[in-house]
Amino acid sequence: MLKPTGLLTATGLLVVLGGTVWYFNKHPKAPDTPATPASPKILTLPEDQIAEIRIAKSGADAIVLKNTNNQWAIAEPQQMPADQDTVKSITGSLASFTGDRLIDEKPGDLNGFGLATPSEEIDVTLKNGTVNKLLLGSDTPSGSDTYAKLDGKPAVYSVFSSSKSTFDKTLTDLRDKRLLPFNQDKITAVTITSKGPAFAFGKNAKGEWQIVKPEPFRADSTRVDDLIRRIKEAKMDTAATDQKAIDEQYGTGAAVGIASVTDDSGEMALTVHKGKDNSYYAKSTAVPGTYKLTGDLGEGLADKAVDDFRNKKLFEFGFSEPTKIEIDGVTYNKSADKWAGPKGQMDSGSIQEVIDKLRDFAASKFAAKFDGTQAIVLTVTSGDSHKVEKVTVNKSGADYLARREGDNAVYGIDAASYGDLQKAITGIKPFQPPAKK
């Protein structure tokens, strides 16, 4: 016989179970939400096999792009180099062209989609001769999509307007806008004429930029790389369409400089003038015409002389760690993480302070003659190749002159910079073991 408390507990459980059954009968489990259908594939092509693209829009001349040896060029309506990045975006889109959704697998009439007379047709020819024709019609009622189909296949799709905009390119959009279309990987020489005599850069056996004209000097590679970047980014400003005004600004403007680049195709040059409107204009030997410039080449050429690109650092060990330092014949050697001098182990922190000063030791100017009285001789051995750099510093009047061994350049060092180095050298001290606690 159940006790009253047990009876109450059992009754409560029956009520709970009954309520649960009633709830699920009244609220059946919602069916699983179907997965969003994948975007339908309209066109799938091997991008590296696309040989020609023809873009024909209503009311405009068709533009034909041709690929020769992996270089795209405009063949019609005019022959000119193409902007490789812009064409790459088109070929990438065509290689895997997807729609937003399938509208009709077999429509009876294409007029309602604007596809009976398409507003745009993109013909894609592969290297094997196969031609795929993509047709674009009118916009959908929402205006966010466009109707599209492949010629020869019945299905009609909607595609995002952003996909359509990939092909909405004018001749100006597609042309190469660089005024010096050189191959950056194949540059062998750069010549600049600006302030004073012309100067030129070439590469040494290690592929490093050096000044080769008017005489051999070490070059500041960072500055040379920045100059080449400016030359590469010197492009025609396609927003400037008043050719008469462009010609006038160039013709009456002040000469700024000439940048000449030689690559595997030969030499090409760009002459830059500063117009009365303070904008820069240019003529190129590689591209006919006169253009307003985009980019910052004008500023990069203005009033530049060879000294602006010379390497002012006295030591080149950079981030390589020195393993040996000689200061006026006194030698310090590094073994593992310890430095030793003539009288035993040295304080590594004080040696590092000297290394930091040597790494930053630089000229403030250049001099024509190395004279004065010898002040110090510094030699640094660094890196796995044990590169040796030796610098002699002379005191000349209030300042100092320096010369690297094997380098005819004379570097002018201001007294403050030399004083900072001397202070660090004076601070070299023996190693002191930690005090016992």
Tell me the CA distances in angstroms from 403 to 58, 263, 358, one per residue in order.
70, 34, 14
Helix (H, G, I), strand (E, B) or coil at 283: strand
C-alpha angle 193-194-196 in degrees, rounded to nearest 5: 95
**pLDDT value at 30 more than 80:** no
pLDDT of 38: 63
Query: Given pLDDT bands bounded at 50, 70 and 90, which one contains residue 143?
Result: confident
- Rounded to 5 degrees, what are φ and ψ at 172? -65, -40
Query: Given pLDDT bands bounded at 50, 70 and 90, which one contains residue 434?
Result: confident
Distance CA 428, CA 323 (A): 16
The first and second tokens of residue 60, run together, are: 């405009």
Query: Given pLDDT bands bounded at 50, 70 and 90, which one contains residue 24?
Result: very low
Q: Considering only 19-28, 55-64, 174-183, which range has the smallest mean pLDDT? A: 19-28
The predicted model gives 267-283 an average pLDDT of: 97
**pLDDT value at 372 more than 60:** yes
> Which of 264, 189, 196, 262 is closest to 219 using CA atoms?
189
pLDDT of 37: 54
Percent of the chain with pLDDT over 70: 91
The predicted model gives 24-47 an average pLDDT of: 62
Q: Does domain 43-174 bear CATH number 2.60.40?
A: yes
Residue indicated by tokens 């279309």: 181
pLDDT tens-place string over residues 106-121: 998 999 999 999 999 9
Looking at the DSSP assignment, which residues form a beta bridge with residue 255?
Answer: 273
223-253 residues labelled b (16+ CB within 10 A) or e (exposed): bbeebbebbbbbbbbeebeeeeebeebbeeb
- Rounded to 5 degrees, what are φ and ψ at 3? -75, 160
pLDDT tens-place string over residues 230-241: 999 999 999 999
**Residue ranges of the chain assigned to CATH 2.60.40:** 43-174
pLDDT tens-place string over residues 168-194: 999 999 999 999 999 999 999 999 999
